[in-house]
Amino acid sequence: MFWGISTALDLYEEYAKAFKLQDDCEVAGAGDTSKVSPAALNILICGGADARHVIKTLAKRYTHRVQPKLNIYVLDGCEEILARSMLLLAIALESSDSFSLVGLVHLFMDVYGNSMMRPTTHHYVAAKARTLLKMVTDEEQLQHIAPMLNLDGLKYREKDGMEMAFNFWQPKPIHFYDIKSYWEQRSRALLGGRYDHRLGVWDWDLSMTLKDREGQQICSQEYRYWRESGIAFVFPEYELCKPNKTFAAGLVRNGRTYLHRGYVGDIQTGPFCGFGLRTSEERMLNSVHGENDYRSTDIVERNLLELFHELQTQTPYKHDPTRSRRYGSVLLQMSPVLTYNEADDHNQEIYDKPWIEMPNITVHFISPMDIVQLKEGAKRWRGVFDIAFVAHNYINFLTKEFFNVLKDQALMIQETKLMTVERKEHLNNFESKAKDLMKEAGLRPSINYQAINGKNMFLKYKKCVGAEEELEEEVVIDEKKVVIDEKEVVVNEDPPAAESLEIVELPAN
C-alpha cells in the first residue's frame, strides 16, 4: 500500500520503445509521423502507491532529445497515500541548497521504507508537512513553491484528508502512532501459530519465493530485520527511534486527536522493489555462493544518488565506488529498536524553498473517486491517455470500458504479482486474467509473451487503431519450430552437403 512491488520505470522511454519512436528527430517534424513523438503525452499512474515512476521519468527526461510536454495524472486509493506521494516527490525535488546529495538520499530512504526514522528525518517531515499544508490550502503558495503540481482534480473532502495527514505528522504527543505495536500485531495475525517459528517462515519467503522471482539482490539479514521491525534500510551510523507517521491511514478527527487504522501496508515483500533490485553498476550485483556483495539497501542508495543527481544537474551520474559499503555478507549487530520521546523543538527549520524547476511537466493529483469513472469509461476521460500504468491491486477496476480512456496509439502497463509471496498458480491466474482483459479490449502485446518463457514484473500491451503496425518479430528457435508473432512456423531444414555425409559399409548378410 505504501510502496509498489515493481521497479521504477521511465514511462516516456517505455512508450518510445513500444512504438519505436525516433528520439533524434523533431517533434511534429516531417516524414513518417507514426515514428515521431507527439507534442504532448498524458500519463495515468493508477495505484502507483509512491512517486517512483514520476521521479524516474523526470530524472531521465534530459537523456531524450525529443522532450514532449508531459501531463502525469496520479490516482491512489486514499488521501494519506496522496499526501505521502507528495512528500516523497518534494524530497526528490528539494533544493540542492538544503541538503547534500547523500543526505537527501538517506532522508528519502528513511521516509520511504522505514517504520522508525532518525530524529532529523522526523523533524524534516514535520516541517515539510507544514509547507505542504500551505500548498494544499493556498493556490498562491502552490504556484510559488511547486508550479508543476496541479491539485484541481481533488475534491474539498480529499484536500481536507491531506490536511489531516499533514497535521498528524506534527511532533505532538497527542498524535500517537505506536508503529512497533501495530507491526507486531499484523505479523502475529498473519502467521498465527507459526509466529514462534517466524524466522523459518521469513527465510522460506525470501529464499524459496522472492529470490526465485527477481529478488536475488535482497539479503537475508535485511529482509529478516524488516519483517521483524518494519525497518528496511539500515546504516550503522544512524539511530532509528522516531515513528514514521506517514504510514498512518484512515485518519478521522476525534476532538483534538485522530483515530486511524494503525498499519495496513505490506508486511511480506518490502520496499526493496522500487529502486533496489537492479542497477547499471554491474559490479554491485556480484554474489559468491549465494551471498551478495551488496545489500538491496546499497543498491537503493546508489540508484537514488543517480536519480537525484540527474534531477539537480541534468547531467549523467558517475558513481564513486568508495561510496557504497559492502555489507551484503556482513552480519551487522542490530540493537533493540528504542522509541526516543524527547521534547520536540517547535522552532524547527522551515523547508519552503521552491522545488527544482521542471519545464513542460505537470503532475495532476486526481480524486480517488475518479477510478469509478475510469472503470466506466466516462466521457470526460475518453481518449485522454497515451500511457497508463495500473498496479496489481487495481486490476478489478479494469473493464472493457476502462480501455476507452486510452488514445488510438497508447501503451498499457499492468503490474503483476511477481514480487509477492503468493503461490505460483495465483501468479499465473493473475497474468492470464490480465492478458485476457487486454486482448478482449483489442490491445496487443509489445513483446511476444508466448515465445518468451520468462518471469514478468510487468505486462506491456499497446493499442494501435487505424495504423498499419509492423510485424513484431520475437523469434525463438526450438528444434525445427520458429515462433513469429504468436504464429508457429515449421522450418524445413536444408539437406546436408554431400561432403559432410559419412559413408558406412554395411556387413554382408
Structure confidence by residue, pLDDT tens digits, 459-472: 999 998 865 444 34
What is the per-residue pLDDT across 237-283, written as a single tens digit (0 to 9) for each? 888 999 999 999 999 999 888 999 999 999 999 999 999 999 999 99
Residue 455 · residue 214 · CB < 8 Å: yes
Least confidently predicted of 62-66, 290-294, 334-338: 334-338
Return the pLDDT at 237: 84
Q: What pLDDT, in 10s, does the model give residues 85-118?
A: 999 999 999 998 889 999 999 999 999 999 999 9
User: 256, 174 in Cβ contact below 8 A?
Assistant: yes
User: Quick one: pLDDT at residue 62?
Assistant: 96
Least confident interval from 253-262, 312-321, 336-345: 336-345
Please, are residues 264 and 251 in contact by the beta-carbon 8 Å criterion?
no
Cell 495496513 found at: 264
pLDDT recorded at residue 24: 57
Using the CB atoms, write b or e for 240-277: b if 16+ within 10 Å.
bbbbbbbbbbebeeeeeebebebbbbbbbbbbbbbbbb
| Residue 346, pLDDT score | 53
Q: Mean pLDDT score of the chain, rounded to an integer?
A: 87
Percentage of the chain modeled with pLDDT above 90 = 74
Dihedral angle sign, alpha carbons of residues 350, 353, 358, 359: positive
Give start and end residues of each alpha helix (H) in 192-295: 198-204, 220-229
Write out pLDDT tens, residues 160-186.
999 999 999 998 888 889 999 999 999
pLDDT tens-digit map of 21-52: 977 544 444 445 557 788 999 999 999 999 99
DSSP letters spanning 46-109: ES--SSHHHHHHHHTGGG-S---EEEEEEE-SSHHHHHHHHHHHHHHT--TTTS-HHHHHHHHH
Q: Averaged over 469-483, what is the pLDDT? A: 39
Q: Where are the domains of the chain?
A: 14-74+369-377+384-474, 76-147+155-355
Residue keyed to cell 511532533: 171
HSE of 233 in the Cβ direction (CA atoms, 13 Å)?
Answer: 25
Considering only 7-11, 229-233, 500-504, which range has the smallest mean pLDDT?
Answer: 500-504
Cα-Cα-Cα-Cα dihedral sign, residues 312, 316, 322, 327: positive
pLDDT in tens, 343-381: 555 556 789 999 999 999 999 999 999 999 999 989 999
pLDDT score of 506 more than 90: no
Element holding 409 (H helix, E strand): strand 406-415
Quote the Cα angle for 498-504-507, to 5°: 150
How far apart CA 262 and CA 501 sit, in angstroms, is 76
The fold adopted by the segment(s) 14-74+369-377+384-474 is Rossmann fold (3.40.50)
In percent, how much of the chain has pLDDT > 70?
86
d(CA 398, CA 396): 5
pLDDT of residue 467: 54
Phi and psi (nearest 5°) for 408? -65, -30
Res. 325 pLDDT band, cuts 50 70 90: confident
Tally the C-alpha atoms within 13 A of residue 290's C-alpha that lie toward its C-beta.
Answer: 7
